[in-house]
Structure 1
Amino acid sequence: MDTEIKIISRRRKKYVRSTNRDINIVHRNPNPESHPFEQAREYKRALNSVKMDRIFAKPFLTAMTGHIDGIYCLERHPKYLSRVVSASADGEIRVWDLMRRKTVANVQAHNQFIRGITISKPNGNFFFSCSDDQTIKQWRFSDLRSNVNSEYQKKKKPISTFISEETLRGIDHHWSRHTFVTSGDTVQVWDHKRSKPFQKLTFGTTETSSAIKFSPVQKNVFATAGSDRSVALYDLKISTPIRKVILKNQTNAISWNPMEAFNFTVANEDHNCYTFDMRRLDRALCIHNGHLNAVMDVDYSPTGREFITASYDHTIRIFNIRSISSRDVYHTRRMKRVFVAKYSADSKFIISASDDMNIRLWKSEASKPLLPVDRKEKNAIKYRESLKKRYGYLPEIRRISKHRHLPRVLYFMKQQKKKSLQARARKYRNMKMNNPSSVNQIKMRKRFIVKQLK
């Protein structure tokens, strides 16, 4: 009698990897009934991923020293990722190489406080500095390098000097023309080849403008912040002011969104940042809060999705453009009041400068690895990010992802501010219930605006 033998036959290409770098082939049944604990497993993976992010969150990279006074100006190079220019209160300018983390050039540019620095765009061959001595000086990067052996380099003289008849509080360069503007008693428009400003702009008032910034999208439009708590918009094409809004507190810095042409964000003295649409200045698009003291600087990421703020409360915060609260907060024990912060051109790093004479380098993503990762690790990171996004609304995951450690002083300041805001809201609510006619009901996005001028 013949015996029948059943043999299991398989095709080799269905279960064997073609190379050692390929992933192992796993046969999986997609039927959800076969995986009753799928959500529980994914939740646990999301929870572990959030915990790992907090464990590996080490954003601080290095502190670069060299200045002997507080640093109040910082500008990144538009062409080279690792080049940054800084200026301190004693009139010294330093050019830094972030990759080597050291100074590559320095010059004693002014005898007084340097109020602003800007780099010529788009080539970035020159940079300009303005000071309390009412002078604007133009410098060439190649002349300040230490390997240039010439009398010009040894003396380290500027290419040209522009003398202003008014005080200077800020400077910014046009994005495509050989033109730059300065803020002060009036807004002055300068050309590289002229010793005097060829245009002066004013809104009909006597306020002094402090911050000034060109829009990277609408290149002829720029905004200024005045001492009368105003934010004014100007257009070089029509040589006239566009409109103006007066806030309850003074604005310290302005930054334009590089991807959304009409939007800009201002850093205010009332601990908040406000994002505006230049077409409607009667209300803010979003109010960004979280700082415990005046916000001194704001700068957008090149992606246009996030911005950073530098504050008088010794911290740096990272905000999403649509969120009220910050995504992350950076601080160190030795870092003092932060006056300026900038994104790197690839949006992966943050450069900050404070009055403790140090420039600090941070990661924009606190737990992101700096070393290159292979394809498998990239896929694993993407999978963990999708899980965190899917289960991020659950209480435990949200609590861990949003928790940030603050120094003891800032923690108690935060609690005190929270109680003050709660008391103010309770008083407003009681007045509204007992005597509605005595309460002027204004929306939150309009409360900090005094009036708008056109």
Structure 2
Amino acid sequence: MVKMLSRNPDNYVPETKLDLKRVPRNYDPTLHPFEVPREYVRASNATKLERVFAKPFLASLDGHRDGANCLAKHPKSLATVLSGACDGEQWKMDRPGYGEEEEPLHTILGKTVYTGIDHHWKEAVFATCGQQIDIWDEQRTSLIRSMTWGFDSISSVKFNPIETFLLGSCASDRNIVLYDRRQATPLKKIILDMRSNTIC
């Protein structure tokens, strides 16, 4: 006597090319001992994410005609926000109260695209970067000083929180450049192996 396996092709052959392949699965709970704890962890994670996304919308910073490319806040004042747009426009504004319309305190038109912006830690001064680094006073619309080293665009600029007269920048040609606001020329240029996106 010869015994043979016989299977029904309807159980494993798809009817059309677009049908998903059936994966055999055994629903026996003895084979899946951690199914209940796994579902519990998934449910608790979903609940946490719902709480994160349920945070109410506070405010929008409308007003730039072009896309806002960089955003910075004052290191000590939570309400003061600086933003720079692709059309060379920068704003300094105080965050409005709930339901109020915001108006910028100052609007400054620049000549290039702003790729980074940072506020000084102690003084009423901020720096922007793009083709060069510009130092601005909060109360004036004309720049105080412009610094550059090389021809590549600068992607990020930051003031040093300890030695506040120093600032650093990273450029698209893998350079990190250190500047001193008291001197006419940059301090040092460091070339890295890989390109950096931002400086902290």
TM-score (norm 1): 0.32
Instruction: Report the counterpart of residue 199 of structure 1 in structure 2.
Output: 145
- Work out whether 1:134 is the aligned partner of 2:70: no
Distance in 2 (alpha carbons) for counterparts of 1:210 and 1:194: 24
Instruction: Report the counterpart of residue 146 of structure 1 in structure 2.
Output: 98
Distance in 2 (alpha carbons) for counterparts of 1:175 and 1:236: 14
Q: Which digits, 9 at most, give the CA deviation of each residue in 1:75-109, with x for residues without a partner?
A: xxxxxxxxxxxxxxxxxxxxxxxxx8222211323
Q: Which digits, 9 at most, give the CA deviation of each residue in 1:36-72, with x for residues without a partner?
A: xxxxxxxxxxxxxxxxxxx9xx7x954756xxxxxxx
Instruction: Report the counterpart of residue 184 of structure 1 in structure 2.
Output: 130
Instruction: Report the counterpart of residue 21 of structure 2 in structure 1.
Output: none
- Work out whether 1:253 is the aligned partner of 2:198: yes
Letter of the 1:129 counterpart: S
Task: Report if aligned partners of 2:72, 2:118 keep a CA contact under 8 Å in 1.
Answer: yes
Count residues with an aligned counterpart. Answer: 155
Following superposition of structure 1 onto structure 2, how do residues 45-84 of structure 1 map, counting pairs within 5 Å? 61-62=48-49
Deviation at 1:157, TM superposition (A): 2.4
Q: CA RMSD in A?
A: 2.3
Structure with more of its chain in helix, by fraction: 1
Instruction: Report the counterpart of residue 61 of structure 2 in structure 1.
Output: 107
Task: Report if aligned partners of 1:163, 1:196 keep a CA contact under 8 Å in 2.
Answer: no
Larger Rg: 2
Deviation at 1:162, TM superposition (A): 0.7
Instruction: Report the counterpart of residue 170 of structure 2 in structure 1.
Output: 225
Deviation at 1:225, TM superposition (A): 0.8
Task: Report if aligned partners of 2:74, 2:80 keep a CA contact under 8 Å in 1.
Answer: yes
Distance in 1 (alpha carbons) for counterparts of 2:114 and 2:128: 7
Task: Report if aligned partners of 1:135, 1:162 keep a CA contact under 8 Å in 2.
Answer: yes
Q: Which digits, 9 at most, give the CA deviation of each residue in 1:113-165, with x for residues without a partner?
A: 32211112323331110010101011111xx22244xxxx2xx3211101111
- SS of the residue 1:115 aligns to: strand
Structure 2 residue runs of 5 or longer lacking an equivalent are 1-40
Distance in 2 (alpha carbons) for counterparts of 1:139 and 1:62: 32
- Work out whether 1:124 is the aligned partner of 2:124: no
Letter of the 1:111 counterpart: R
Distance in 1 (alpha carbons) for counterparts of 2:97 and 2:60: 8
Distance in 1 (alpha carbons) for counterparts of 2:171 and 2:65: 25
Structure 1 residue runs of 5 or longer lacking an equivalent are 1-54, 66-99, 256-454
Q: Which digits, 9 at most, give the CA deviation of each residue in 1:381-405, with x for residues without a partner?
A: xxxxxxxxxxxxxxxxxxxxxxxxx
- Work out whether 1:165 is the aligned partner of 2:119: no
Distance in 1 (alpha carbons) for counterparts of 2:159 and 2:49: 31
Task: Report if aligned partners of 1:213, 1:224 keep a CA contact under 8 Å in 2.
Answer: yes
Which protein has greater RCO, CA pairs closer than 8 Å, 6+ apart? 1
Q: % of aligned pairs identical?
A: 23
Task: Report if aligned partners of 2:87, 2:112 keep a CA contact under 8 Å in 1.
Answer: no
Deviation at 1:214, TM superposition (A): 1.5
Deviation at 1:235, TM superposition (A): 1.4
Following superposition of structure 1 onto structure 2, how do residues 365-376 of structure 1 map, counting pairs within 5 Å? none
Letter of the 1:132 counterpart: C
Instruction: Report the counterpart of residue 174 of structure 1 in structure 2.
Output: 120
Deviation at 1:199, TM superposition (A): 0.1
Mean Cα deviation higher: 183-192 or 210-219 = 210-219
Task: Report if aligned partners of 1:185, 1:208 keep a CA contact under 8 Å in 2.
Answer: yes
